[in-house]
Every structure is written in structure tokens, then in C-alpha cells.
Structure 1
Amino acid sequence: MKAEHEFYDASALEWSPAEGAPGVTERVLSAGGSDAELTRLARWAPGLDTSAAGVIRHAYYEEVYLLEGELEDLTLERTFTAGHFASRPPGMPHGPYRTRTGCVMLETRHPGR
């Protein structure tokens, strides 16, 4: 279960390397006891390409809102920019991705049921 937080200045949080995701840093806003309970800002470095990881699937719901920059979905052959949103149920294939400019996204994860 996620901890309780009243409003706080999230910009005061340090950007930290995201575990298992080279080229991605994060500000964890709220987390629970598993990878499936997370709200974070994720910042992808300019030039990041996740082709080597292939298509992604996970066992949790994931919602992503692009705040800055651009993100190219190499499977869909489409580029998404600030203001684009994705909602993915458990097991939904997505990616791989690349970004020329870098991007910042708000990501929320919920356990699959």
C-alpha cells in the first residue's frame, strides 16, 4: 500500500537513476511495496533507444502522460509529444521506443487483478 502524502514540493526531489533502465532518471512521488504500486516522473535522456529490450509487457496497469519532449513508438511508427496519454492493461504489448530530444512523463502503476 502506498504511503499517505499531503501536498509537497515534488520539484525538490532529486532525479535518481531508474533501476534496470539505463538512460532513465526518476522522481518517485509515491510508492508501495511492489513495482506495481508507483507514481513517478520519468525523464528519458536525449537519444535513448530501447530497441535492444524489444516489446514490453508487464503484469500491472500503467498510465503515462507525456509532459515534455517526444517519444517515438518504433512498432507503431508514430511519435508522441507533450499532452499525449496512454493507458495500458496488464500484458498489453508496447514499445520499443526512442527519443531524439528526451522526454519527461508522469507514470502511474496499479496492480493487475
Structure 2
Amino acid sequence: MTDKTGKPELEFHVPAGPWRAPAGAGPGVAEQVLAEDASGERRTVLQRWDPGTDTSAQGVARHEFWEEVYLLEGSLHDLTLDETFPRGTYACRPPGMPHGPWTSADGVTMLVVTYPADEAG
């Protein structure tokens, strides 16, 4: 069964899906899909970066969808802002918002939720 977003209806369970490199991600980045709709536009994932991950090669990121990120463990350093964001911090990025590039000296695990531009956050 799915809800109005097209994501599956899931009760509490231990996620068991594989950890895979997301499309376009650099080395050291993997994600585990918790829930997504059939189109892949509405996703909830755990994403982890290995210690030493550096996204400088990808440059500043911009995308055409909403993205919400909550840091569960570790930290991210934003190279553009020269600021480090620790565990427990949150970002809500509208479509087109520039962010990054990033490094993570000790690694990071985050909860990431994405949805189409026409759906308000």
C-alpha cells in the first residue's frame, strides 16, 4: 500500500536494503533507501560518507528538487562557507539553492529527504 506521495506504507522495522553509491556521487559516499516512490522523485535515505570524503571535484551543488538533511552522526565542513556543521544540525534546501562542496574528516551519516519542486517543504 502507498500513501498520497506514492511512497510505500511501512511500519517500524529495521532497514535491510543494501548500501549503494548514489548516481553522480564521488568516492566514499553510499546510501540506503528507506522509502521512495516509483519515480524516485520522493525519497527518504540514510546517506553515509567515509572519513576523508571530499566533494570538491563536484563543485557547488544545485538541483531541481527540495532536499532536507539531518546530520545523525559525524559532521560536514562546507568549503564555500568555511563552516563545520555537527551532529544534530538540519538543512532545508529549496530547488536551485547552491550548497557545498563539502568535506567530512571523520565521516558523517545523515537522513536525507527529497521531493519535487512543486511540493512545498
> Shared fold (TM-score greater than 0.5)?
yes
Runs of 4+ displaced beyond 4 Å: none
- State the AA in 1 paired with 2:75: E
In the alignment, what sits opposite 1:85? 90
In the alignment, what sits opposite 1:57? 62
Select the residue among 6, 24, 28 that pairs with 1:20: 24
In the alignment, what sits opposite 1:102? 107
What secondary structure, in the 3-state scheme, does the structure 2 residue paired with 1:20 have?
coil
Deviation at 1:35, TM superposition (A): 4.3
Deviation at 1:64, TM superposition (A): 0.2
What secondary structure, in the 3-state scheme, does the structure 2 residue paired with 1:52 have?
helix
Gaps of 5+ in 2: 1-5
Gaps of 5+ in 1: none
- Aligned-partner Cα distance in 2 for 1:34–1:76: 33
1:29 equivalent to 2:22? Answer: no
Deviation digits for residues 32-60 of structure 1 (CA, Å, limit 9, x no counterpart) = 13343110000001111111111100111
Q: TM-score, normalised by structure 2?
A: 0.86
What secondary structure, in the 3-state scheme, does the structure 1 residue paired with 2:53 have?
coil
- State the AA in 1 paired with 2:18: E
Deviation at 1:23, TM superposition (A): 1.5
- Aligned-partner Cα distance in 2 for 1:81–1:99: 10
Deviation at 1:17, TM superposition (A): 2.3
- Aligned-partner Cα distance in 2 for 1:17–1:62: 18
Select the residue among 2, 14, 24 that pairs with 1:9: 14
Equivalent residue pairs, number: 112
- Aligned-partner Cα distance in 2 for 1:90–1:75: 19
- State the AA in 2 paired with 1:5: L
- Aligned-partner Cα distance in 2 for 1:91–1:109: 13
- State the AA in 1 paired with 2:49: W
